Structures are given as structure tokens and as C-alpha cells.
Amino acid sequence: MSKTAFVNKEQILKIAAKYPTPFHIYDEKGIRENAQAVKEAFAWNKGFREYFAIKANPNPVLVDILHSYGCGADCSSMTELQLSKALGMGEDEIMFSSNDTPAAEFVYADRIGAIINLDDFTHIEYLEKALGGRLPETVSCRYNPGGVFDLGNGIMDNPQDAKYGMTTEQTFEAFRILKEKGVKRFGIHAFLASNTVTNTYYPILAGQLFELAVQIREKTGATLSFINLSGGVGVAYKPDATANDIRKIGEGVKEQYDKILGKAGMTDVAIFTEMGRFMMAPYGGLVTQAIHEKHTHKEYIGVDACAVNLMRPAMYEAYHHITVLGKENDPQDHVYDVTGSLCENNDKFAIDRKLPKIEMGDYLFIHDTGAHGYAMGYNYNGKLKSAELLLKEDGSVVQIRRPENELDYFATLDVLPIFDTLKKEIEASKDIQISNVL
Ligand SMILES: *Cc1c(COP(=O)(O)O)cnc(C)c1O
């Protein structure tokens, strides 16, 4: 199996002439087709909504595309809430699945009509105090059963080690209290495994939450209005992985729904999801140019992007496939470490990767950067964040975020006298012109 980039060399040569590398580029067509497929996969459920986990990619143009397919936003902070509100998301279109939440964020979330999903039992009282002695009409609780999440053929993840959510007993107690305090609509949320590449994760999780919903009704009298399966649906980062089939996932959840909630007469329950990665990862790529080669104890290719543009390989040793544009069909008979320029030895996009022979000036397409890519960016070593581009359905390209410049980077030093001198230095470096060095 091979992975193909959604752009070819010819396109990138044209794009790079206008927008210097590195940049993230997104595939509008792919985003739209996938969003439509998600919508159809859960169309059997009347109240279904995908709340796109905006932390995965907070570019407003992309969030807006998803919004046009009925997606809301799942937020984790004040700025994400503000962005969602500014995009025109209305009542019930914003989910606030935060943790360790400051009071001001609860107050703002409540003000804009976001659904507040409480990470802990103690947050009931905290929220009530933050809101001046009342609770919202709708409250959701985040559940963490502990133990391991097992699909029957292997452990997927370890909820017992996760900081999120309430225990089973706390969950029951939370709904008892919420009901007593006059909350009208209830929901439950759980995120028990990450980047699952299997069509069974959501169905198994759903089965557990549906059983829990029945128990919650029995034990507390609270009837849930929605069940939020959260994120965790993965993508095929590796070329030999089989991508998830969202239609099968939707059918699997429906089977559990009919079996458990159908039997309990709870067929008004809406299914919510908060996918980030699945909605966006495959539809983004980081385009970077090879600018150095080193032949020392290993073979290195140095590119003009670094971990600041894509942190996942450095942070989790995550695999991101690389296509050398224009050499898609060449033999992969070289072994390289592909590195960025940070003074950090983990700044490597690939280690011992088989690739075709790379020449200086070649463009590399690093796959699956549409989620948790640009968004995780940082400024270590004084590196600036890249632009984001959108490849539109008609083949044209628009810049949907400009690259950061030096002034952006130094902006928070405007409290110091040196700020004016920095501005002069930035001006003074603007005359640098590069002749052909590659
Ligand atoms: C990160 C996150 C998501 C999205 O996770 P993906 O793996 O990108 O699907 C959804 N909900 C919450 C609360 C999260 O923290």
C-alpha cells in the first residue's frame, strides 16, 4: 500500500513561487467529502452532531467549512470559545469539554450558550459558585471508568492513568446532585482511547456508555439527552494501516443503540462526537524543501521546516509519511534521517526512513498534518510559525493564515525599551536577498 499526496510537484512549484516553504496546505475537497460521510454515517440518529475538536485545527476557514456540514465546535479554552462564537456558532453548537478550568471560562461558556461538560465531581460546586449560585439548564459529565480499555483483542489505552473524568460512583452522585439542583438536560461524555485505527472503538465505547445511561436513569432518575463519544477515532498515518470506515463505525454504534437504548425505551438520546484527528488530519500536509544534506555517522537531509511546524514526531515519536514530490515512483533505495533545524536532537521528521534519493531543492510532502499539526506549534529557538494555505476545490490556492513575522514574535516585549531597537533591527534585515544557493 502506498500513500499519495493530494498535491503534485507541478502544483507545489507554482504555489511555492508565491508562498515560500514551509507551509501547511489543506485539501478542501477531502475535508468536505469526509464531513459529508460523517454526517451520513450517523444520519440514523435524530439529534446527531459532530463537535469538531477545535484544538486539532483552529483555523476559522476550516472550522467554517465543517460548520456548513452541521458540525459544531468542541472547545477547551477561552480563546477557542471566543473563536467559535465569532464564527457564528449558536446555542448548542459549542461544547466546552475542558479540564482544570478557570472560573472565567465557565462564565463565558455559559454566557454564549455552550454546553458545559464537567471534568470532575467537584466542578459542580465550582461552576455553581462561578455562576453566582446557579447551574446551567444543561450539564454534561465526563466519565472515566478506570482500568484499561480493551477491545477484546488487545489493550487500546489506559483510562486509569488519565487525568480526565469522574469515577463511576462519582458519576452517579453527580447526576443525583445535578437533578436535585434543578438541571433539566443531562449528557455524558467519555474519551477512553486515542488514535484508534479500528472500526470497533466507537461501538464498544458506545455500548459501555449506553449501559451506563440506563443505570444512571435507574439509580438517579436522570434521563440523558445526549451521549458524547468524544474523539479518539484515528487515521492511517502509516502506509500499511487500514483507514477507519466511518460508515461501518456509524452502523456499529447504531447496533449498540438499538440493542441497549432501544430495549430500555431511550430512543430520544442524541449521539454527539468530538472528532478532531479524523475530521482533518489526512487533509493537511506540511510542505518543506530540502536545503542541506549531511553525510556523517548517518545520512541526513535537512529541511526548512522543523518541530515548531509539526511537533508530533519529536513529542510522541509519531510516524508521518513523507512523499518526495516528483519522485513518487522512484525506488526507495536510500535511508535518511529527515531533520529540522532546532538545537534539539529529537527534531527529526523521520528516522532511518527509506526514501528515494533526495536532491537539494526537492520538495517533501509530510502527510497527515491537518490535525494536531500547525495547532501544536510553538516558538522554540525563536522559530516563526508558518503560513496555512487552502487548496480549493477548483484547484486555486488561498492563504488562510499568513506566516508569523519577527514583529509578531517580539510583540510581547513592547513593555521594554529594547522593543524600538528590535523593530529597527527587523527593518535592517529586510534587504537580504538570496541568490541561488541550492
Ligand atoms: C483532543 C480531544 C478531542 C479530539 O481528539 P481526536 O483524537 O483529535 O479525535 C475530543 N475531545 C476532547 C475533550 C479532547 O481533549
Q: Which amino acid type is present at position 432?
A: I
Question: In angstroms, what is the span from residue 4 Cα to ligand 1's centroid?
Answer: 26
Rounded CA-CA distance 53/74 in Å is 5
Query: Could you tell me the fold of the domain covering 90-274?
Result: TIM Barrel (3.20.20)
Kindly report, residue by residue over 70-104, the tens digit of the pLDDT. 999 999 999 999 999 999 999 899 999 999 999 99
CATH of 282-410, one of 2.170.130.30, 2.60.290.11, 2.40.37.10, 1.20.1440.230: 2.40.37.10
Q: Is the CB of 232 under 6 A from ligand 1?
A: yes
Q: Is the pLDDT of residue 404 over 70?
A: yes
Rounded CA-CA distance 48/214 in Å is 19
Q: Is the CB of 75 under 6 A from ligand 1?
A: no
Per-residue confidence (pLDDT) for residue 32, from 0 to 100? 98
Domain locations in the chain? Answer: 90-274, 282-410, 411-438
- 277 pLDDT tier (thresholds 50, 70, 90): very high
> Which residue in the block uniquely carries the three cell numbers 542541506?
292
Q: Is the CB of 230 under 6 A from ligand 1?
A: yes
Kindly report, residue by residue over 36-72, the tens digit of the pLDDT. 999 999 999 999 999 999 999 999 999 999 999 999 9
Higher pLDDT, 268 or 148: 268
Question: In angstroms, what is the span from residue 352 Cα to ligand 1's centroid?
Answer: 30
Atom of ligand 1 nearest to the CA of 231: 9
Atom of ligand 1 nearest to the CA of 275: 9
Kindly report, residue by residue over 186-232, the tens digit of the pLDDT. 999 999 999 999 999 999 999 999 999 999 999 999 999 999 999 99
When the pLDDT of each residue in the chain is averaged and rounded to a whole number, the result is: 96
Q: Is the pLDDT of residue 147 over 80?
A: yes
Residues 275-285, mean pLDDT to the nearest whole number: 98
- 1 pLDDT tier (thresholds 50, 70, 90): low
Nearest to 105 by CA among 72, 140, 129, 81: 81
Q: Is the CB of 388 under 6 A from ligand 1?
A: no
- 151 pLDDT tier (thresholds 50, 70, 90): confident
Q: Is the CB of 371 under 6 A from ligand 1?
A: yes
Q: Is the pLDDT of residue 395 over 60?
A: yes
Question: In angstroms, what is the span from residue 232 Cα to ligand 1's centroid?
Answer: 6
